[in-house]
Amino acid sequence: MKRVKKALKKALGIQTATEAGEATLLIGLRNPGAKYAGTRHNIGADAVAVVADRIPASFRSAPRGIPAQVADGRIADSRVRLAMPTTFMNESGQAVGPLIRYFSPESFIVAHDDIDLAFGTMRIHHGRGSGGHNGIKSIVDTTGGTEFWRLRIGVGRPPGRMDPADFVLQRFSTDEEAEILLQEAADVLEAFVAGGVEAARQAAGDLKRG
């Protein structure tokens, strides 16, 4: 965990790209409900929840009937707004589109699972396609574009011939130490808020395992 703190410390040392008074929006994708709690598909929302616990901040229903939960707080000297859709993953755009239109954030990032990255690897991307991720596809279809930041969190590849759809709905094994990955993903999200894109990329690179 020392290298996690070191990476975050370096990231926070970079000047923030978010102006004072403007809230950066962190969105974590998931499937709602106890049935899906702790699954690979939910790691984006779970990482945002870790950030909320650290601040701390409490989630509430989003305004104007937007199907999401939101929370507000500060990281370093920057304001942050956290959001988790209450839609199912394949309908994420129904929440993300209205969230962006309502809050008009200066900057925002969507955190989500990715089976094309080795477990524990993280990448910051902008302006790319969905890569087969149905939550991202829904956001692209709803917003009409790919011009947004994403934190891709590697959850590993399905073993053998397992259907990827079944794999991402599984929970992590004890050996994978998912709690460490969650804390590291939260570090990257905090770096994005406090230090901007390059800070987040630096943190993600320093934390890469595979």
Greater confidence, 106 or 69?
69
Tell me: cis bond preceding 159? Omega within 30 of 0 counts: no
> What pLDDT is attached to residue 80?
97
Q: Which residues pair with 151 in a beta bridge?
A: 111, 124
Greater confidence, 106 or 140?
140
pLDDT at 185 over 70: yes
**Averaged pLDDT, 115-129:** 94
**Averaged pLDDT, 131-155:** 95
CA 51/CA 190 separation, integer angstroms: 7
> What pLDDT is attached to residue 160?
93
> What pLDDT is attached to residue 207?
60
Domain ranges of the chain: 2-13+21-206
What backbone phi and psi angles, to 5 degrees, belong to 195? -130, 0
pLDDT at 14 over 90: no
CA 139/CA 25 separation, integer angstroms: 15
Q: Which of 41, 112, 125, 133 is catalytic?
A: 41
CB 156 within 8 A of CB 118: yes
CA 33/CA 181 separation, integer angstroms: 22
Q: How confident is the model at residue 128 (pLDDT cuts 50, 70, 90)?
A: confident
User: Is 41 part of the annotated catalytic residue set?
Assistant: yes
Choose the CATH number for 2-13+21-206 among 3.90.1640.10, 3.30.750.24, 3.40.50.150, 3.40.50.1470: 3.40.50.1470
